[in-house]
Amino acid sequence: MKFQVACAGAVALALASGPADAHHSFAMFDMSKEVTVSGTVKQFQWTNPHAYIQLMSKDAQGRDVEWSMEMGAPMYLYARGWRPRTLRAGMQITVKLNPLRNGRPGGVVRDVTDAAGKPIGTNR
């Protein structure tokens, strides 16, 4: 598993200044950390109030780990060019996310790229 933890100071500072969270508080995520996870899409849940990417990855011991990666509601994704079939089972992707504070394999998605490093959708 490609697993990088990097302090994203700029992101943390920006979010600390008062983002509006649409459905629940972002306190469950460590916004001071950015994690990069590569793996295979198991499922893309195009659902309210959140979409989720279920991503299969490998941990440091080579064991399978399923990540639950939260996104905004489908309408926000739609406005930025995402569609239910933007991610399909079996796709190889890399996701940058702010991880869950409780250490579980999950977080809130910041950006997604394909196996070649090309952005999938947009977050702008």
For another protein, the binding residues (CB under 8 A) are 14-15, 17-28, 43, 45, 47-50, 52, 54, 66, 68, 70-82, 100-102, 104, 106, 108-110, 121-124
Residue nearer to another protein on the CB measure, 1 or 108: 108
Of 1 and 107, the one with the shorter C-beta distance to another protein is 107
Of the pair 20, 116, the CB lying nearest another protein is at: 20
Are 106 and 100 a contacting pair, CB within 8 Å? yes
Give CA separation, 119 vs 40, 86, 105, in Å: 16, 11, 22
Minimum Å distance from CB 60 to another protein? 22
Q: How would you class 71 by CB atoms within 10 Å of its CB: exposed for 0-12, middle for 13-18, buried for 19 or more?
A: buried
Distances in Å between the Cα of 121 and the Cα atoms of 25, 29, 82, 105, 114 are: 24, 22, 6, 23, 10
Rounded to a whole number of angstroms, the minimum distance from the CB of residue 88 to another protein is 16
- Least spacing, CB of residue 115 vs another protein, in Å: 20
Q: Closest Cα to residue 44, out of 121, 100, 118?
A: 121
Compare residues 32 and 52 and give the one whose CB is closer to another protein: 52
Closest distance of CB 64 from another protein, Å:
13
Structure tokens at 51: 């979409």
